[in-house]
Amino acid sequence: MEHLMDEIDKKIMALLQYNARMSISQISKEVSMSQPSVKERMIKLEEKNIISGYNTVFNLREMNRGTTTFILLKTEHCQELTVFCENAMEVTDLFRISGEYNYLIKVQTASIEELAEFQDSLINFGPSKSHISLKNILENRVLL
């Protein structure tokens, strides 16, 4: 198996995970390498699709979307569900899973009432179970 990353690559990725807007100059200081070398490593990580994008993290509570709910859903209407979720503002993530249920939907709503309305719109797809998140312990953790 090809060795994809060394410790410097991992440190660069950890710095970018912490702050994707960190300058190459700052990264080069943190890893004790020249700016051109850091830039070249970042380009190689992008070309290998190890770094597939740079994201902004929003404070959903401040955007009035502070209620996080995970919904397990069993359906035979897979394509219709996918289209529905792509168009539903509440849906942030949709996963195809194995087991009794075949989809896991992550939704962000302003309130329990808004969540209830969303759940009502899922009834035609099949049975579901909802789990409201009480506290976020780990999210988007880098596994390096």
What does the block give as tokens for 4?
């994809």
Q: What is the pLDDT of residues 38-75, one digit of tens each?
A: 999 999 999 999 999 988 888 888 888 889 999 999 99
DSSP state of 21: T
pTM metric for this prediction: 0.79
Residue whose pair of structure tokens reads 């179970």 in the numeric block: 129
Region at 99 (left for phi over 0; alpha for psi -120 to 50; beta for the rest) = left
Residue whose pair of structure tokens reads 């700016």 in the numeric block: 35
Greatest CA span in the chain, whole angstroms? 58
Q: What is the pLDDT of residues 65-116, one digit of tens each?
A: 889 999 999 999 999 999 999 999 999 999 999 999 999 999 999 999 999 9
